[in-house]
Amino acid sequence: MRGHPDVEIVCAPGNGGTAAFATNVAVAADDPAGVVAAARDCNATLVVVGPDAALAAGVADACRAAGIAVFGPSMAAARIESSKSFAKGLMDTAGIPNARWSTGTASDRGALMALVNELDGRCVVKADGLALGKGVTVCSDLDAARQAVGACLDGRLFGRAGDRVIVEERLEGPELSVLAVTDSRNLRLLPPARDYKRIGDGDSGPNTGGMGAMTPPPGADDALLKRVEAEVLRPCIDALAALGTPFSGCLYAGIMLTPDGMRVLEFNARFGDPETQVVLPILDEDFLELLIASAAGTVSPGIARRAMQSCAVGVVLAAAGYPGTPRRGDVISGLDRLDPSILAFHAATRRDPSSRDPGLTRGAAGGAGALRTDGGRVLTLVARGDSLEAATEQAYTALQGIYFEGMQYRNDIGMAQAGER
């Protein structure tokens, strides 16, 4: 790890990128007992829980019970992400501004449709549970809204995650993502970002887990960050503490800046991507020390320092078929020729030891065997610069050298505000 050469990193389960600098172990990230056993095997002094499903499964709880320091909230506190209805109720109780809403199961269809009709179909339909960032449908008319509700409750489009549905008033305005590291008492705010949710240019097509991100969004200065802390983040951690479920880890607020003021769209209980991939590279602070401080209860409050090159743009390269069923196994080429100033974050990649084409096996990714796609969002290429324009140009120049069959990406990341809802 940069700045910590003596630190050993173990990833569960890891991917084709982490294999270049860490030890990958064949343990599912959402297996509490497996993660604890792996942590004990390598004498881990800190476990960093990344995925939402792992937090919802109680991996952080299991580590704490085993006496292992952990970065990440308990299962109960992580409900701020794993249950949208819980989050909406907490926001109302804490006075956190959000969209008008209703929730229910199939037996409550009448109440759900009453709000749909009142909003004339201009609403957002959400699966209550975790759906890999894709459980949200933005509707413009009654037919689309009825179909979205039916797809969740009747068609089980999102499985159990959609057994309960939230219908929200549709808001308009630019979006803002604010991440903060907390120890349940103190908050350290990271640079703000904006992500691009939909698959197509101009925010067209279905929602995804995120097709790119930029930092900082225009107008998102420290004064706005302090408002987010006072009106959103602080009330949230105070309300969770009052419930007996103190939150430590990374609290992420997805916000819309509407003509009527700030409104919270969602909370995440972790470092959400692709925002994290542009935020962390411009930090002028020791990231590992931030994680340790959260686990130890010693977070220093305030706004994190930014590096000199404090603009960054990240473009996601997605597999054929995404955001539906992605095609897996396509060979990825070009990473060995990537400009060293460009960061390549791996997501759905894997090493294929049976294929050893030397043109595919070395370079930025490292390791042996051809690199192949292994899911929906495959890579994120991140460029940094003194301006958003410079970072955008560098990112799009870099991706021209990367190829895998069926590769998808948006052409407008960093060039305009992420679309309105």
* Structure-token pair, residue 71: 């970065």
How would CATH label the architecture of 175-303? Answer: 2-Layer Sandwich (3.30)
What is the chain's pLDDT, residue by residue, as a tens digit (421 residues)? Answer: 566 778 899 999 998 888 888 999 999 999 999 999 999 999 999 999 999 999 999 999 999 999 999 999 999 999 999 999 999 999 999 999 999 999 999 888 888 999 999 999 999 999 999 887 778 889 999 999 999 999 999 988 888 888 999 999 999 999 999 999 999 999 999 999 999 999 999 989 988 989 999 999 998 999 999 999 999 999 999 999 999 999 999 999 999 999 999 999 999 999 989 999 999 999 999 999 999 999 999 999 999 999 988 999 999 999 999 999 999 999 999 999 999 999 999 999 998 877 654 444 333 334 467 899 999 999 999 999 999 999 999 999 999 999 999 999 999 999 855 443 3
Which residue in this structure is represented by tokens 């640079």? Answer: 191
pLDDT at residue 2, rounded to an integer: 60
Place of tokens 């809204």: 145
| Residue partners of 278: CB distance under 8 A and separation at least 6 | 193, 213, 214, 215, 312, 313, 314, 382
Same fold? 100-169, 175-303: no
Q: Measure the CA–CA gap between 219 and 225, rounded to whole angstroms.
A: 10
pLDDT computed for residue 6 by the predictor? 83
Tokens standing for 317? 């390269």
Please tell me the predicted confidence (pLDDT) of residue 361.
37
- CATH architecture observed for domain 100-169: 2-Layer Sandwich (3.30)
Contacts of 406 (CB under 8 A, 6+ apart): 319, 320, 321, 327, 330
Q: Look at the domain 311-399 and name its fold.
A: Glycinamide Ribonucleotide Synthetase; Chain A, domain 4 (3.90.600)
CB 191 within 8 A of CB 216: yes
Could you state, in order of their start, the residue ranges of all structural domains in the chain? Answer: 10-75, 100-169, 175-303, 311-399
**Architecture of 10-75 per CATH?**
3-Layer(aba) Sandwich (3.40)
pLDDT of res. 159? 86
Tell me the pTM.
0.90
Q: What is the pLDDT of residue 418?
A: 41
